[in-house]
Structure 1
Amino acid sequence: MLRRRAALVTAALLTAGLAGCSGGTAAAPQRPAPDVPAKATTPAPRVPAGHAPTQSFAVGVRQLKLNRDGDRPLPVTVWYPARGAAGGAPERSAPAATGRFPVVMFSHGLGARPEDYQLLLSRWAAAGFVVAAPRFPHTGAGGDGNPLDVLNQPADVSYALTQVLALNTKAGDPLRGRLDPDRVAAAGHSAGGVTTIGLFTAGRDERLDAGIVFAGTALGVGTGFAGAAAPQLFVHGEADEVVSYAAGKAVYDAVPWPKAMLSLPRGDHGRALLSNGKALRVVADTTLEFLRWTLYGDAAAKKRLPADAARGGLATLDDHL
Structure 2
Amino acid sequence: MKMHVSTSSPVISIKPIVLSAPGRGENLQVRVSAPATGSQVPIIIFSQGFGWSMDSYGPLVDYWAAHGFVVIQPTHLDSRTLNLPPDDPRTPLIWRFRVEDLKRILDQLDLIEASVPGLSGRLDRNRIAAAGHSWGGQTVSMLLGARVLDASGEPGEDMSDSRIKAGVLLSTTGLGGADLSPFAAEHFPFMNPSFSDMRTPTLVVAGDHDQSHLSNRGPDWFTDPYFLSPGRKSLLTLFGAEHMLGGISGYNVAETTDENPERVALLQQLTWSYLREALNLDDSSWLAARKDLEKSANPLGRIESK
Q: TM-score range by the shorter chain?
A: 0.7 to 0.9
* Structure 2 Cα separation of the partners of residues 140 and 204 of structure 1: 27
* Structure 1 Cα separation of the partners of residues 194 and 83 of structure 2: 25
* Structure 1 Cα separation of the partners of residues 115 and 242 of structure 2: 45
1:149 alignment partner in structure 2: 94
* Structure 2 Cα separation of the partners of residues 119 and 55 of structure 1: 16
Contact 2:47 2:74 (C-alpha < 8 Å) held by counterparts: yes
Q: 1:267 to 1:300 in 2, by over 3 A?
A: same
Residue pairs, 1:1-321, within 5 angstroms: 54-63=6-15, 64-69=17-22, 71-82=25-36, 97-144=37-84, 146=91, 148-168=93-113, 170=114, 174-201=118-145, 202-217=158-173, 219-225=191-197, 229-242=199-212, 244-272=218-246, 273-274=248-249, 277-307=261-291, 309-310=293-294, 311=296, 312-320=298-306
Describe the superposition over 1:257-310 as per-residue Cα deviations: whole angstroms up to 9, x where unpaired: 111111112100014224571000111111010011122431112312313545
TM-score by length of 1: 0.71
Q: 1:147 to 1:211 in 2, by over 3 A?
A: farther
1:115 deviation in Å? 2.3
* Structure 2 Cα separation of the partners of residues 280 and 165 of structure 1: 33
Contact 2:35 2:66 (C-alpha < 8 Å) held by counterparts: yes
2:155 alignment partner in structure 1: none
| Higher relative contact order (Cα pairs below 8 Å, separated by 6+ residues) | 1
1:187 deviation in Å? 0.3
* Structure 1 Cα separation of the partners of residues 7 and 228 of structure 2: 36
Can you give the 5+ residue segments of structure 2 that lack an aligned partner in the other structure?
146-157, 175-190, 252-259
1:65 deviation in Å? 1.2
* Structure 2 Cα separation of the partners of residues 161 and 214 of structure 1: 21
3-state SS in 2 of match to 1:114: coil
* Structure 1 Cα separation of the partners of residues 73 and 115 of structure 2: 23
Can you give the 5+ residue segments of structure 1 that lack an aligned partner in the other structure?
1-51, 83-96
3-state SS in 2 of match to 1:268: coil
Counterpart code for 2:21: R
3-state SS in 2 of match to 1:199: helix
Length, aligned pairs only: 252
Describe the superposition over 1:166-217 as per-residue Cα deviations: whole angstroms up to 9, x where unpaired: 544x499531111000000000000101101111123101101100000112
Contact 1:283 1:309 (C-alpha < 8 Å) held by counterparts: no
* Structure 2 Cα separation of the partners of residues 78 and 172 of structure 1: 8
1:245 deviation in Å? 2.5
Counterpart code for 1:214: L
* Structure 2 Cα separation of the partners of residues 222 and 152 of structure 1: 19
Counterpart code for 1:58: P
TM-score by length of 2: 0.75
Contact 1:124 1:288 (C-alpha < 8 Å) held by counterparts: yes
* Structure 2 Cα separation of the partners of residues 282 and 171 of structure 1: 33
